[in-house]
């Protein structure tokens, strides 16, 4: 599915999951956090709302994909929470786990944001409708499992929720049931909004303010989403098409 379609999807999602909000944590506090765990289906609008909030709160999260027909993580959700329903969040920092996107979003802002759920996020019915519309245009991508080999080590993905380039990669990771540590890299300053290739060329002094962007810059010299790191093979890849080709080749059956 093309880029235009992913752009329409992000627009229907009102570009939630782009800009980082003021949070209630110091930088050190954030670095000491254990990554949250989300049992997720990429093509599920309710999961999307949770991932959007995670980007806005600049939180890292391990995504356990649970597509329909998936064999790897669905039974774990059933054992942990009592039903196969997604999203299901586990927070190892507080010992809390929960279903229901609205409860999860409110919990995240209470625990890791300013306390109050931000105004726009209180329009939950509207946000749900927009997330449903945003997912419909993806026509079932990121919903159904495909046969795959399970990687030994956890892959890592640098991305932010509304990135139209990251969307097809997350869909493929979900379909292949590949768990991954998602390093959220939402935007916080004007320079974060420049196109990466132009920024690299015309703004060599770019100094991002957030930790995942800083890490990407120091590791690769480029800050662009998505970026996949596979510790099983040592591969580090930019470019969504190349990443998906790699995932199919390496882990598809």
Ligand X SMILES: N[C@@H](CCC(=O)N[C@@H](CS)C(=O)NCC(=O)O)C(=O)O
Q: How far apart are CA 145 and CA 59, in angstroms?
A: 26
Kindly tell me which residue out of 25, 72, 84, 133 binds ligand X, with binding defined by CB under 6 A: 84
Which residues is 38 bridged to in the sheet?
A: 63, 89
Tell me the closest approach of the beta carbon of residue 122 to ligand X, in angstroms. 15
Q: Is 35 helix (H, G, I), strand (E, B) or coil?
A: coil
Q: Is 156 in the site for ligand X (CB under 6 A)?
A: no
Q: Is 100 in the site for ligand X (CB under 6 A)?
A: yes
Q: Do 248 and 172 meet the contact criterion of CB atoms below 8 Å apart? A: yes
Q: Is 97 in the site for ligand X (CB under 6 A)?
A: no
Q: Is 101 in the site for ligand X (CB under 6 A)?
A: yes
Window of 41-49, 114-122, 194-202, 238-246 that interacts with ligand X by CB under 6 A: 41-49
Q: Which is nearer to ligand X, 108 or 185 (CB)?
A: 108
Window of 100-108, 115-123, 148-156, 231-239 that interacts with ligand X by CB under 6 A: 100-108
First to last CA, the chain: 21
Could you count the other beta carbons within 10 Å of the beta carbon of residue 207? Answer: 10
Q: Residue 245 contacts by C-beta under 8 Å, 6 or more apart in sequence? A: none
Q: Which is nearer to ligand X, 89 or 169 (CB)?
A: 89
Q: Is 184 in the site for ligand X (CB under 6 A)?
A: no
Kindly tell me which residue out of 14, 39, 46, 109 binds ligand X, with binding defined by CB under 6 A: 46
E-assigned strand segments in the chain? 36-40, 61-65, 88-91, 96-98, 155-159, 180-184, 227-230, 235-238
The residues that touch ligand X, with contacts defined as CB under 6 A, are 41, 44, 46, 68, 84-87, 100-102
């Amino acid at each position: 599915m093309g880029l235009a379609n992913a752009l329409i999807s992000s627009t229907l999602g009102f570009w939630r999951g782009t800009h980082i909000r003021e949070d209630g944590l110091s930088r050190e506090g954030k670095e000491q956090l254990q990554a949250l765990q989300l049992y997720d289906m990429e093509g599920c609008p309710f999961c999307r709302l949770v991932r959007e909030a995670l980007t806005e709160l600049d939180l890292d999260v391990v995504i356990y994909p649970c597509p329909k027909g998936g064999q790897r993580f669905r039974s774990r959700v059933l054992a942990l929470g009592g039903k196969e329903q997604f999203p299901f969040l586990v927070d190892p920092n507080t010992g809390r786990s929960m279903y229901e996107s609205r409860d999860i979003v409110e919990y995240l802002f209470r625990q890791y944001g300013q306390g109050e759920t931000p105004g726009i996020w209180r329009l939950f019915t509207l946000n749900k409708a927009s997330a449903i519309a945003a997912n419909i245009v993806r026509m079932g991508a990121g919903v159904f499992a495909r046969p795959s080999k399970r990687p030994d080590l956890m892959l890592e993905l640098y991305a932010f929720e509304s990135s139209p380039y990251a969307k097809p990669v997350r869909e493929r990771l979900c379909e292949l049931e590949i768990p991954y540590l998602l390093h959220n890299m939402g935007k916080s300053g004007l320079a974060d909004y420049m196109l990466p290739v132009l920024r690299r060329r015309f703004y060599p002094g770019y100094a991002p303010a957030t930790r995942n962007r800083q890490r990407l810059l120091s590791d690769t010299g480029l800050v662009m989403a998505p970026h996949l790191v596979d510790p099983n093979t040592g591969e580090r890849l930019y470019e969504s098409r190349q990443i998906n080709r790699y995932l199919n080749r390496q882990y598809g059956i």
